[in-house]
């Protein structure tokens, strides 16, 4: 929350087999890396990078993904920050009104 809404988040996802051994199911990353051909853009996030790596142990097969996402701050600036700043400045003008005006 320190850099909100200008933050960057890392999402770690692990896909693993839990009921089968490596002999039955072996998950491995593709040779070309992670395919983002079907990725749909989001109004709130930009996808900066995707990395995949094999995180298997001796018995089970596992694949890890790491997504790095950057928040788009426009929504928060337009809907929260700018109105709060404008209302704060407007509130200071209350002291310029004469007391007799009610």
Domain ranges of the chain: 8-101
Confidence of residue 102 (pLDDT cuts 50, 70, 90): low
**80 token code pair:** 């929260």
Chain segment 31-66, per-residue pLDDT in tens: 776 777 888 889 999 999 998 888 888 888 888 999
How many Cα atoms occupy the beta-carbon half-sphere of 66 within 13 Å?
7
The pair of three-digit structure tokens given for residue 13, joined into one six-digit string: 């996802």
Sign of CA dihedral 28, 37, 13, 1: positive
pTM here is 0.71
Average pLDDT across the chain, whole number: 88
Q: Please give the DSSP secondary-structure letter assigned to residue 96.
A: G
Residues with Cβ within 8 Å of 2's Cβ and at least 6 positions away in sequence, in order, are none
């Amino acid at each position: 929350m320190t850099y909100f809404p200008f933050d960057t988040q890392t999402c770690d996802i692990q896909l693993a087999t839990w009921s089968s051994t490596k002999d039955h199911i072996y998950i491995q990353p593709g040779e070309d890396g992670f395919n983002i051909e079907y990725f749909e853009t989001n109004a709130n996030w930009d996808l900066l990078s995707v990395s995949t790596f094999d995180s298997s142990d001796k018995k089970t097969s596992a694949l890890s993904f790491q997504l790095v996402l950057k928040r788009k701050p426009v929504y928060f600036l337009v809907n929260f920050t700018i109105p709060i700043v404008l209302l704060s400045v407007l509130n200071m003008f209350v002291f310029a009104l004469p007391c007799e005006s009610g």
